[in-house]
Amino acid sequence: MRDIAVLLFFIYLIYDSIKTPWHCVLALAIFSYMNPHSYAWGFVHSLPLYLILFLISFLLYLKEKDKQSIFFDWRVNAFILLWCYFVLTTLLAMVPIQAELKLINVSKIYLPFLLTLSLINTRYKLYCLIVTIGCSFGFIAFKGGLFALATGFSYRVWGPPATQFEGNNEFAVATIIIIPFLILFRSETPNKLLKNFLLFAIPVCIASAISSWSRGALLALIGSGMYMLSKSKHKILLVPLIFIGVFILIPYLPQEWFSRMDTINTYEEDESAMTRIEAWTDGWNYAKQHPLIGAGFDGWIYVTQRDWHSAYVEIFSEHGFIAFGIWLSMLLGSFISLIRLPMKTSIYPELAWVTNYSTTLKASLLAYMIGSAFLGISYWDLLYHLIFISALIKKFALEELESLLKVKSTPLVKKIR
């Protein structure tokens, strides 16, 4: 029954994309983050639905007239350069077979972004993409949160099976990243019923992240949450509500949860934490000896025999410091760009959306930057969605600003003449 439901949903998405080709970008996001096929138990589970959807999307893209040329924002240039650098490090990788397979998988993640940069050519379409990503993963997080509340947080919540978010830590960090998307959705939608539902759903999603028992996700939640709170117009109301919520929540958390979180302070005594530090040390030492190309994809097999457990270590250990600089520039550069952009637009009420969108993306990027310090998630499509969405925000904001300045200057020009 599940297989039939997923297959019908897949067919509907194809039909919808044929009618409205830019919807294929949304369909790809749904299959990237909701992963409906991962919950099927029969023949659908083994079908390459995402690949089929991408191929159909590419054909639709070729025929579509309502698209923009891929604009060469510095992040796009850096992305293409990084991709080419990955090819170079793969040719010289220490574990060639593993590296070649990983390059293929990473390329499957990267290719669809070229469609995103071309077909998402208006602010409305960008809004739809943000909402689709938020709701697709939010659906999984909401389901996990209900389970956590029903079981009194006694069990860990895991992500969709056989996906990049399957692990409890990965699932929790992804949840924290998309929560700002849901907050933006609630602030932008005019539908009161949706607003009320999201007011309930967002805390439930947070509960799912807490019940993952992920220490890195807890730090990401605190960092991202504090930032969102600092930017909120309702601090006076929210601060007491947060304290009340924490006060109510604490008695329901099992002692094992507190014991695990306490290892953040006593990491020297935690075997898992010390193993990660050893992997980071091995990766750093190898990168210093091979600063230009690193060990290649999945180089941990050769260097340290354990996963890197850090996106930062993963990049410079596997691809060297040049690739690390390119990757980090996209991450930090996007964050800085989102700080500077509202400074140009804040005096114009018509461009208030820029501040809202920028705050959302900064909170999500901050969650990634904190959470990825403890997870090898440097190739996540969610990261590159954040980076390219920030690039599209800048593009549309500057276009609207230029148009607005032309309109406002016209009467002045006529008066002078």
Lowest mean pLDDT among 114-123, 159-168, 322-331: 159-168
Rg over alpha carbons for the chain, rounded to the nearest Å, is 22
The answer to whether residue 414 scores a pLDDT higher than 50 is no
The whole-angstrom separation of Cα 389 and Cα 15 is 26
Q: What is the pLDDT of residue 410?
A: 59
Residue-level pLDDT at 189? 93
| Alpha carbon distance 33, 132 (integer Å) | 9
What's the one-letter identity of residue 320?
G
266 confidence band (pLDDT: 50, 70, 90): low
Band the pLDDT of 188: cuts 50, 70, 90: very high
- Chain segment 204-262, per-residue pLDDT in tens: 999 999 988 888 888 999 999 888 888 877 666 666 666 666 666 777 677 776 777 76
pLDDT of residue 244: 66
Average pLDDT, integer, range 78-85: 95
Size (the chain), residues? 417
Q: Summarize the confidence of residues 97-116 as an average pLDDT.
A: 93
Mean pLDDT of 124-142: 96
Question: Stretch 132-137: mean pLDDT, rounded?
Answer: 96
How much is the pTM?
A: 0.91
Residue 353 pLDDT greater than 70, yes or no:
yes
Report whether pLDDT(193) > 50: yes
pLDDT band, residue 412 (cuts 50/70/90): very low
pLDDT at 406: 80
- Residue 269, pLDDT > 60, answer no
Q: How confident is the model at residue 413 (pLDDT cuts 50, 70, 90)?
A: very low
Write the CA distances from 181 to 136, 216, 231, 292, integer angstroms: 11, 20, 15, 37
Over the chain, what is the mean pLDDT?
88
When mean pLDDT is compared across 54-63, 258-267, 339-348, the lowest value belongs to 258-267
pLDDT at 238: 67
pLDDT, residue 415, reads 41
